[in-house]
Amino acid sequence: MQSVSLSLKVFINLFKILTENSRRFNGGLDGLGFNEFVILLHINQSPDKKIRRIDLAEKMGLTASGVTRILAPMEKIGLIKKETAQRDARVSFVAITPAGQRNLTETLEKTQLFFEEIFPPEKLKNIKDLSALLVELGGSIK
């Protein structure tokens, strides 16, 4: 049998953990899925609580059309809204609405508890190093 590199093993294990827990997460927070949660978090952390769609797609690791497919239902239920740039009407932003802000606030504590069960601090002695490595490899939350 051919040997598998440590890098590939790490990626496969990380992928499995993320896939399983994303599925668990998606079923547990009042209809808000993991992608929607991360989108609200990115918008909320952006200046003026708005972000260009293309920048959001980059932060999510998705294509522009992929992020648009996620945003459409979020806009329909009032979690986000479209805004046009004052100086250039060709530039559009996605902004968090008061309802989206409430949803994020209510969900954030539950989400942090959920992931502390998955990644308990006592098991992650080097969590800061892991977090820094993931950002270095392309992660978008510092």
- Residue 25: Cβ within 10 Å count: 20
Q: Decide if pLDDT at 141 tops 80.
A: no
* Amino acid at the residue 136: E
Domain segments of the chain as ranges: 6-136
Per-residue model confidence as pLDDT tens digits over 77-90: 999 999 987 887 77
pLDDT of residue 30: 65
Q: What is the pTM of this model?
A: 0.79
Per-residue model confidence as pLDDT tens digits over 106-131: 888 888 888 888 778 777 777 777 77
Q: Which of 67, 116, 126 is nearest to 94 (CA)?
A: 67
Per-residue model confidence as pLDDT tens digits over 20-48: 877 777 766 667 888 899 999 999 999 99
CA distance 60 to 36: 10
pLDDT of residue 19: 84
Is CATH 1.10.10.10 the classification given to domain 6-136?
Answer: yes
Q: Write out the two tokens for 136.
A: 């270095």
